[in-house]
Structure 1
């Protein structure tokens, strides 16, 4: 018994890795099909054929096709948060901190396969996820504002949560226009930086505004 015990964690780890690889294989096949055919036009059988797995294997990993949308959204948010964790500077200017958040969002979107963003965002909205998902992006922005408040850079009457939602909503609006092709030459990065520059003057403290002009 004691000789066999050490092998158990290794076996469990291997099974979990194999499970994760299979889930990733199915997910990757699904996204490639969504980009080619659209979400509604893609059937579970199409996904299993592309991934070369049995239909039952799909349902071992995803309860239904719509769960692929929540997985896509969750992975995007995780990538966004990971980018912000990489080499986060201290005592950075408020506009730089917010700009860094916007840059990370741009990178997440530009990493997607062309055409996939529009398909998945449409499915994300149809599933009601902008309402039901935890507001993680808004919370990231709110934390930047909280730091500014603590350092005296933000007016004391500013509500970080309100500003966080305002920035999140402005980002989503810009993202929808970008996917539709309305931004054209301006690009998503330019649009998001413009949003930061538009909002900042209304929330910074008088002392910060004076310091910025010197």
Structure 2
């Protein structure tokens, strides 16, 4: 067996263990209350080893968010391959996103704040790990090609605006929502999406 390949697999297993343990601790004890030392101890690694895999605690959440984005993209690609209408697919993804957000309300604010991090490198890393605008672009591209979207804004710009608006809605709901239920978030997101689509559809 190649020693390099074996070391790489060991690293992958260690990273997966650290990730799994960290998410469990975040969910059971709260993100803010969980420290890197807590994660390292529960993962049976040193604190330094934790930071070798995740340079800061929030980086663990980026892996968590990336998994959500992958599920959304997979759903969108499958539905578009079935020739489902783009707006239907977007609504399905939007509802799925609301469910994912509502299920882990305590993890959404720190995850979302990474996208707004004043450190440009961390904000860039978060944006690359959470490509919601790219998923929306995948869904709306057939409509653009069919001339159904306004032509004075680029598809990328429109999708960025929709993704950014989700971020604000999710942050407001998770941090300040008077009715922190899946339905309240879903209703709010549906109204917001309807409003946004009024601005991007060709008249």
Q: What TM-score comes out, normalization by structure 1 length? A: 0.71
> How far off its partner does 1:171 sit?
0.8
Partner of residue 180, structure 1: 175
Tell whether 2:146 aligns with 1:151. Answer: yes
Deviations 1:86-140 (A, max 9, x none): 443454334213213313322432454x533344444664465784223721232
Partner of residue 194, structure 1: 191
Partner of residue 212, structure 1: none
Tell whether 2:29 aligns with 1:29. Answer: no
Partner of residue 108, structure 2: 117
Partner of residue 4, structure 1: none
Larger gyration radius, structure 1 or structure 2: 1
> How far off its partner does 1:48 sit?
1.5
Which structure shows the higher helix fraction?
A: 2
In 2, the alpha carbon distance for the partners of 1:163 and 1:66 equals 28
In 2, the alpha carbon distance for the partners of 1:87 and 1:198 equals 23
Alignment of 1:54-65 (within 5 A): 54-65=46-57
Deviations 1:144-201 (A, max 9, x none): 3332121132233343122112211211111112212526265222222222222323
Residue pair 1:39, 1:120 contacting (<8 A) in 2 also: no
Seen in structure 2, the aligned counterparts of structure 1 residues 124 and 145 have a Cα distance that, compared at 3 Å, is: closer
How many residues matched? 197
Residue pair 1:146, 1:160 contacting (<8 A) in 2 also: yes
Partner of residue 71, structure 2: 79
Partner of residue 106, structure 1: 98
- In structure 2, the gaps of 5 or more residues are none
Q: Which has the higher contact order (CA 8 A, sep 6+)?
A: 2
In 1, the alpha carbon distance for the partners of 2:110 and 2:43 equals 20
Seen in structure 2, the aligned counterparts of structure 1 residues 31 and 76 have a Cα distance that, compared at 3 Å, is: same
Q: What TM-score comes out, normalization by structure 2 length? A: 0.75
Partner of residue 204, structure 1: 201
**CA RMSD, 1 decimal:** 3.2
